[in-house]
Structure 1
Amino acid sequence: MAAPPDLKIPKSSTTVQVRIIDTTSHIAGIGLAAFVQPEIKGFTTLSCPAYSFLIEHPSDRKLLFDLGVRKDIENFAPRIRDRIKNGGWEVNVKQGVREQLEKHGVSGRDIEGIIWSHWHWDHTGDPSTFEKSTALIVGPGFKAAFTPGYPANKDAPIRESDYEGRELREIAFSQGLKIGRFDAFDYFGDGSFYLLDSPGHAIGHMCGLARVTASSFIFMGGDSCHHGGEFRPSQYLPFPSSFFPNPLDTKSSTPCPGAMFEDLLPDGDKTRPFYEIAKLDDGSGVAHNVHEAQATIGKVMEADARDEVLVVMAHDDSLLEVMDFFPKYANDFTQKEWVEKGRWLFLKDFAGAVKK
C-alpha cells in the first residue's frame, strides 16, 4: 500500500458551510457500457440521483455547485430534449433547486453564482429561475464551444436564457496554484473553497473542494467519475479483506468478506479499480477525451485516499443512505464517519456477479 500523497492544500482558518442537496432528479435506464469497461455481470444500467451543493461563506456570500436536471424537461434546448426523448431513459424531477432553497428559508436572491461542473443537461438545471445578479460560472473553453446558445444556435446544447443578462464567468486556472495534481482556483481568495480543473469528461469540466473544518474537505466530483468502481480500489486504498457495513446488506451486523469480489478485479490486482473509462470502437462513449478523463481519475484517487476528504460524485447513489441532505449541513462528516461508511457501498451493484 502506497502512502497517500500530500495534496499540499494551503493552510487556512477560514471555512465554508456546505449543504448537499438531493435535487430530486432521478435518471434510470442509462446503459453503463458507454461509461465504463469491462462489463460486470448483472450491472448494465445506471440509476442516478443528482446532487447539488450549497456553499455558504462566512461573509454571507453563497454559491451553488450544479443544479441537477431542470424541472420542465420539455424546455431544454431541442438537441437535448430530443436526446432525452429518444434515449429510452426514465427522467423524473420533483422540485427545482430554488424551490428547495426557499422552502427552507434560503433566498434565491442571495446566490452569488451558480457553478456548472460542466454543460451536460443533468447538471445545468435552469439558471433562469435565479435573478440576473446571479453569475453563471463555467470552466475553460466553455464560451468558445457553447455560445451562443439556443435559439441563436439551433444545435446548441444550452439555451441563451441560461446566461442571458447575467455575468457568464469563465474560470482561468492562471493563479499558479495546485491542489494535489489539479490546477486550482481559490474562489474566495482565502483558502475556503477551490475550483479544480478536471478535463476529459466534457469541455470545461471542473470539480470543487470546500474546506469545512481547518483540516477536512468535501470534494465535489461532478462527472469526473460515474461509479465508485472507477477510482476504487487504488494503490492508496487496496481492496480490503472484509467490509463493514456490508454493501450487500447494510442492516447486517456481519462484515462482508472481500474474497467474494476478488474475481471481478482486473487481473486480481487489489490496487486497481474495477473499471476504466469505456473506449468504444465507433468513437462514442461518455468521455470527450478518454486520455484526459482517465488522468483526472488518477488525481481523484489521490484525494480519495484521505479520510479527511469526503468525495461526492454527482450521481453516486451508494451515498444516499449515508449522507444527510439539505437543509442539514455536511460539515461534520468526519464525526459521522461518512467516508468510512460509504467507501465500499458501491459494491452492492455487483451483487449479481458474486458467488453467494
Structure 2
Amino acid sequence: MSQRRLFDVPPGAVARVSIIDSTVRLGGVLDFLLVIPKLEGFDALPTLPSLSFLIESPTGKKALFDLAVPFDPLNSYAPAVVEAFLASGFDARVDKHVADILKDGGVNLNSINSVIWSHYHYDHIGDIRTFPLTTELVVGPGFSKAYLPGYPTNPNSTLRDSYFTNRTLREIPFITPLRAGPFHAYDFFSDGSFYLLDTPGHTTGHIAGLARTTTNPDTFIFLGGDLCHYSGHIRPSPYKPIPPGIKVPVPNSNHSHGHVHGAGIPCPGAITAKDFEHLNIKRNRKPDEPFFDPVLGEDLPLMKETIIKAETADADSDVWFVAAHDPKILEVAEVFPKTANAWKRKGWGEKVHWAFLKDLVSAVEVDRDS
C-alpha cells in the first residue's frame, strides 16, 4: 500500500501554466508593514513583484489568476484606493496591463474565459475592464456581501461598479467534500487540472489556486495569492526545517561556491542553518517555526491557521508554493509566454525555496555582533 502524502490531491488532468511577470515592482515596503516580530537588521522587504498566472485546461479553456496592478492605477482605481495608494509612500512601478502582456504574447483576449481574483486588494485586481465582457470574474465565498456595491454607489468602496457592469460575477462555493490536502477545494475546470482552494484570513473570501503540472508523478504549482506576503511567513516549518547543510555566502566574499540550496564546500564566513535558527530562538520562536507572523489581514488568527495548513504543501517536494509577491521567482523561473510545467525537472522550486534567506544575511551579521 502506498504511503499517504502530506499533501494529498485527487487524480486528474494536467493544466498548462504560465507565470506572468506583470511588470509591477513595489519598493519601499518597510518590515513592520508586513512582518512581525521585529528582526534587527531586517528593516525592509526587497522590491516586490505582483505575479499573475495563465492556466489552460486540456479542453482549451483559459483562466487568469490575479491581474496585479493596472498600467495607469491612479486613473483606474476607485478614489478610496487612489488615496490609500498615494498615502502609502510605496515606490510603485508598472509598465503594462496584464491584458497587453497577453496580447504581446499572442493570446487573443476573447479566448480568456475567466479572470480569478484571489482577493479584492489593489495589487491583485488589475483592471478587468481591459478584458471583453464575455470574460467572467470569479471571486471567493462571501465576496459580494463583504465588498459590494462598488463606487460610486458606495462612495467609500475600493472597487468600481464598472468592474461588474454587464459582466458575469461568479462566487465560488466550497460546499462539496472535495479537498486538496487540508483545504476545501473546487474543481474549476471539472477535470482535476486546476483547483481553487478556500484560504481565508487575509481577506474575506481569499482563495488560492492549485494547478497540476505533470502526472507520473503528479506535480503542482500552488498559487498562494496573499495567503502569505513573504517566504518568511511560511518557512521554515516543522514539516521542512532549514537543512543542516545549508550555506549562504556573506556578501562581498571572494568565495562563490556557497549556494542557498546547500550544495558546495563551506566557505569562510558562510552563514549556516544554526545562524538562521538563532534568529528565531532569540525572539522566543522555535528553530523550525516561520521567521515571521503576518501583519496585514482582516482576521490574523485565521490567516495564521491558513498559513499553517499551507505549510504541508510547501514541504511537499512535488508542490511548488508560489506567493504572489515572491521576487525570487523571477530570478529563477521562465515567464510567459513560456510555460512553467517543467518547474520540478528544472529545479525551480528547489532553487527558490530557501533563496529568501539571502534577505536575512544582515540580520545574522547584527546577531553575531550583538
TM score, norm. by length of structure 2: 0.89
1:1-356 to 2 correspondence within 5 Å? 6-12=6-12, 14-46=13-45, 47-75=47-75, 76-214=77-215, 215-243=218-246, 252-255=256-259, 256=270, 257-266=272-281, 267=284, 269-278=286-295, 286-355=296-365
Aligned to 2:263: none
Equivalent-residue separation in structure 2 for 1:152 and 1:314 (angstroms): 30
* Contact 1:238–1:271 (Cα < 8 Å) also in 2: yes
| 3-state secondary structure, aligned to 1:334 | coil
Equivalent-residue separation in structure 2 for 1:142 and 1:44 (angstroms): 34
Deviation at 1:320, TM superposition (A): 1.8
Change (3 A) 1:58 1:155: same
* Contact 1:23–1:97 (Cα < 8 Å) also in 2: yes
Identity of aligned residues (%): 41
Please tell me the root mean square deviation across aligned C-alpha atoms, in Å: 1.9
| 3-state secondary structure, aligned to 1:336 | coil
Any gaps of 5 or more consecutive residues in structure 1? 279-285
Aligned to 2:265: none
Change (3 A) 1:138 1:159: same
| 3-state secondary structure, aligned to 1:91 | strand
Deviates more, 1:124-133 or 1:26-35: 26-35
* Contact 1:54–1:64 (Cα < 8 Å) also in 2: yes
Equivalent-residue separation in structure 1 for 2:119 and 2:353 (angstroms): 25
Amino acid at match of 2:141: P
* Contact 1:8–1:180 (Cα < 8 Å) also in 2: yes
Amino acid at match of 2:17: V
TM score, norm. by length of structure 1: 0.93
CA shift digits 1:199-234 (9 cap, x unpaired)? 000111000000011100000000011111111111
* Contact 1:245–1:252 (Cα < 8 Å) also in 2: no
Deviation at 1:259, TM superposition (A): 2.7
Amino acid at match of 1:51: L
Deviation at 1:328, TM superposition (A): 1.0
* Contact 2:249–2:258 (Cα < 8 Å) also in 1: yes
Amino acid at match of 1:264: L
Equivalent-residue separation in structure 1 for 2:6 and 2:285 (angstroms): 28
Deviation at 1:245, TM superposition (A): 7.2
Equivalent-residue separation in structure 2 for 1:33 and 1:240 (angstroms): 27
Equivalent-residue separation in structure 1 for 2:33 and 2:49 (angstroms): 18
* Contact 2:116–2:137 (Cα < 8 Å) also in 1: yes
Deviation at 1:41, TM superposition (A): 2.0
| 3-state secondary structure, aligned to 1:262 | helix
* Contact 1:20–1:325 (Cα < 8 Å) also in 2: yes
